Chain A
Amino acid sequence: MLLEVDELHVSYGRVAALRGISLQVDEGEIVTLIGANGAGKTTTLKTLSGLRAVAAGSIRFDGRDITAMPGHQRVMAGLCQAPEGRGVFPGMSVAENLAMGAYSRGKPAEADLERVFTLFPRLKERQKQAGGTLSGGEQQMLAIGRALMARPRLLLLDEPSMGLAPQYIQLIFRIIAEINEQGTTVLLVEQNAAQALAVAHRAYVLETGTIVKTGTGQELLGDESVVAAYLGGGPG
């Protein structure tokens, strides 16, 4: 297992955000975590990246216990994230944002830049433009491209389709599949459950800080309660 999360508890003050979730991601998989707003999806990814303190439970990455490892060291260990809201550095150019992605490796490698520009030709055209002036879809491309610059073993993606126009949503999910085919393992958090389940090998359903269901993407796409709650069945 590349990532093993065991009975993870996280709280904000007295409010429990995660109540003992366990999940695994194997090398080469796309695993998705779906759930409603406030279910704890973003908290899970932030905790995996070391931005939130763990109250109880453990995180193992590549056989190593990283529960107490500082966030910046996890990047070097191979765990990278394109955060919710994209987190593009607004005052930096596209090129500088990409260089920040390679920060943990020192200088950005030409081969990595080539790879990102092949996936997202738009970024190559806009290299000199400030990150803050890009459209939402372009910022998402930049956030994913930037995470790839660190050559992650596990790529964490938090709501990559949020707020995007339909053609961009299609593009982003196609790219996620492509990145995975090139050998990067992906843990994807999404509200767009239909698309996420379609692209994922396996999935977990998160409700109020607990995992209530797991299965392959196809299984959950056919699951009545999942359809009702997350696939346009209701306001859920």
Chain B
Amino acid sequence: MSNFVNQFWASTIDGLTQGAIYALVALGYTLVYGVLRLINFAHSEIFMIGTFATVGVISAAGITSPLAGVGLLLFVLGAGAVAAVVSGGSAVVLERVAYRPLRRRGATQLAALISAIGASLFLQQAVSIWVTSDARTTERVMEKVNLLTIGTGDLRADKLLVFVGAMAMMILLDRLVSGTRFGRAIRATAQNADTATLMGVNIDRVIMITFLIGGAMAGVGGMLYVIFFEVTNFTVGFVLGIKAFTSAVLGGIGNLRGALLGGLLLGLIEEYGASVVGAQWKDVIAFSVLVAVLMFRPTGLLGEALGKARA
């Protein structure tokens, strides 16, 4: 227990950094679930594609020494945009190829789930064959300087960037969904798809854009992941994807603010738990949370009845 106290601030900073990435990826699960009642298990691969897109930008830009100031800002905006477009585009193709044909035929949810798992394996193998099956490390894009020491914890510049970047994307998405006409159409589709059609909403278009937005968020998550960890590989999405899914379930799947809350909480729980029982137990802690939530509170923390779910 004394470790918990000693490492409290360090764990908090790391937990929020990790959790911000979980939350960003969790948004994609929760958005798609909101409109389709489908767990898009290939979403973890969309994140993985985002990490590779970022690695590609770093080598294409010829970055050999850490950036700072305007250069760093331009890199983050540029790489974020590329990762968002590549991941978002992949998610749209995924929906076209793996889900839409099944939906047209009125296939069962189980069929869509199996298709999702197949698509996930396909994307992993495609990247391992066509890109690389080894871990891909990158140049350091920013100095990991300490900005501020809080208790025993160092608030490093890269951790702050990950957290602030993820929060900015989530605020943007929240504004979009709660404050715009198209966001209203997404919520209407989530609450009652048939009635949304009766209002003139093109459901197929809403679904496509939902995949695009969720994919773009995962792409930005991938970029932040690469800046923070400086490494990726074709299986990077697997564990992270399940943790992001856990975050979405913990917060209440279908609920955007729930994904944020769930992601940050899961990051904190993992780090606090690790400080008590050891870092090797991190994944066990995260997945115990998943099992516990599914057993004791399947609607999650902010969960509402399905009919009232806010996408």
Interface residues of A (CB under 8 A from B): 46, 49-51, 70-73, 75-76, 80-81, 83, 87, 89-92, 96, 99-101, 103-104, 106-107, 132, 146-147, 150
Q: Which of B8-16, B17-25, B192-200, B265-273 sits within the interface? A: B192-200
B268-311 CB mask vs A (1 if < 8 Å, else 0) is 00000000000000000000000000000000000010011110
Could you tell me if B191 and A83 are in contact, using CB atoms closer than 8 angstroms? no
Give min CB distance, B191 to chain A, whole Å.
5
- Nearest Cβ on chain B to A95's Cβ, whole angstroms: 11
User: In the complex, are the beta carbons of A72 and B197 less than 8 A apart?
Assistant: yes
* Partner among B181, B308, B310 whose Cβ is within 8 Å of the Cβ of A103: B181
Identify which of B181, B198, B309 contacts A87 (C-beta below 8 A).
Answer: B198
Q: Is the interface of B mostly helix, strand, loop or mixed?
A: helix
Residue in A closest to B205 when the chains form the complex, CB atoms: A72
Is B184's CB under 8 angstroms from A51's CB? no
Cα separation A173 to B309 with both chains bound (whole Å):
33
A89 touches B197 (CB 8 A): no
Say how far B108's CB is from chain A's closest CB, in angstroms: 14
Pick 24 A–B contacts, CB within 8 A, sort by A: A46-B194, A71-B197, A71-B198, A75-B198, A75-B199, A76-B200, A80-B198, A83-B195, A87-B195, A87-B198, A89-B188, A89-B192, A90-B191, A91-B309, A92-B184, A92-B191, A96-B184, A100-B188, A101-B199, A103-B184, A103-B185, A103-B200, A106-B181, A132-B308
Q: A70-B202, A100-B196 are in contact. List 19 more A-B contacts (CB 8 A).
A: A46-B194, A50-B197, A71-B198, A72-B200, A72-B203, A80-B198, A81-B198, A87-B195, A90-B191, A90-B307, A91-B191, A91-B309, A91-B310, A92-B184, A99-B181, A103-B185, A104-B200, A107-B181, A147-B198
Q: Answer whether A92 and B202 are a contact pair too, CB < 8 Å, given A87-B192, A87-B195, A132-B308.
A: no
In the complex, which residue of chain A has the Cβ closest to the Cβ of B192? A87
Q: In the complex, which of the residues A87, A91, A96 contacts B194, with contact meaning CB atoms closer than 8 Å?
A: A87
B residues contacting A by CB (< 8 A) are 181, 184-185, 187-188, 191-192, 194-203, 304, 307-310
Kindly report which residue of chain B lies nearest to residue A96, judged by CB atoms.
Answer: B184
Tell me the bound Cα distance from A157 to B189 in angstroms.
21
Contacts of B191 in A (CB 8 A): 89-92
User: Does B308 contact A91, Cβ atoms closer than 8 Å?
Assistant: yes
Q: How far is the CA of A157 from the CA of B192 in the complex (A)?
A: 18
Residues in chain A near residue B195, CB distance under 8 A: 83, 87, 89
Minimum C-beta distance from A13 to chain B (A): 10
- Given the interface pairs A83-B194, A92-B191, the reply to whether A99 lies near B200 with Cβ below 8 Å is no
In the complex, which residue of chain A has the Cβ closest to the Cβ of B310?
A91
Within the complex, the shortest CB–CB distance from B40 to chain A, in Å, comes to: 22
Residues of A within 8 A of B181 (CB): 99, 103, 106-107
**Of A46, A51, A107, A146, which one neighbours B199 at CB under 8 angstroms?**
A146
Bound form: Cα–Cα A90–B196 in Å: 12
User: Chain A contacts of B196 at CB under 8 A?
Assistant: 100
Shortest CB distance B103–A (Å):
14
A83 lies within 8 A of B200 (CB): no
Contact present for B199 and A100 (CB under 8 Å)? yes
Interface centre among B188, B194, B196, B198 (most CB of A within 10 A): B198
Residues of A close to B201: CB separation below 8 A: 72, 100, 103
What residues of chain A lie closer than 8 Å to B185, measured between beta carbons?
100, 103
Contacting residues, chain A, for B194 (C-beta < 8 A): 46, 51, 83, 87
Q: Report Cα–Cα, A46/B197, bound state, in Å.
A: 11
Chain B residues with CB under 8 A of A90: 191, 307-308
Q: How far is the CA of A107 from the CA of B192 in the complex (A)?
A: 21
Q: Quick check: A49 and B198 within 8 Å, CB to CB?
A: yes
- What 3 A-B pairs are tightest by C-beta distance, nearest first? A104-B200, A75-B200, A87-B195
Residues of B within 8 A of A75 (CB): 198-200
- B307's closest neighbor in chain A, by CB? A90
User: Is there contact, CB below 8 Å, between B187 and A150?
Assistant: no
- With both beta carbons as reference points, the residue of chain A lying nearest to B204 in the complex is identified as A70
User: Closest residue of chain B to A74, judged by CB?
Assistant: B200
Chain B residues with CB under 8 Å of A107's CB are 181
| B187 / chain A contacts, CB cutoff of 8 Å | 89, 91-92
B197 neighbours in A (Cβ, 8 Å):
49-51, 71-72
Distance in angstroms between the alpha carbons of A92 and B203 in the assembled complex: 18
Task: Tell me how far the C-beta of A64 lies from the nearest C-beta in chain B, rounded to whole angstroms.
Answer: 17
Q: Please report the C-alpha to C-alpha distance between residue A80 and residue B201 in the assembled complex, in whole angstroms.
A: 12
Q: Is the CB of B308 within 8 A of A100?
A: no
Cα-based distance from A35 to B204 in the complex (angstroms): 34
A50 contact set on B, CB distance < 8 A: 197
Residues of chain A within 8 A of B202, CB atoms compared = 70, 72
Please measure, in the bound complex, the distance between the C-alpha atom of A147 and the C-alpha atom of B199, giving whole angstroms: 8
Taking CB atoms, residues of chain B closer than 8 Å to A147 are: 198
How far is B200's CA from A73's CA once the two chains are assembled, in angstroms?
6
Chain A residues near B307: list those with CB within 8 A.
90, 132
Q: How far is the CB of B304 from chain A (nearest CB, A)?
A: 8
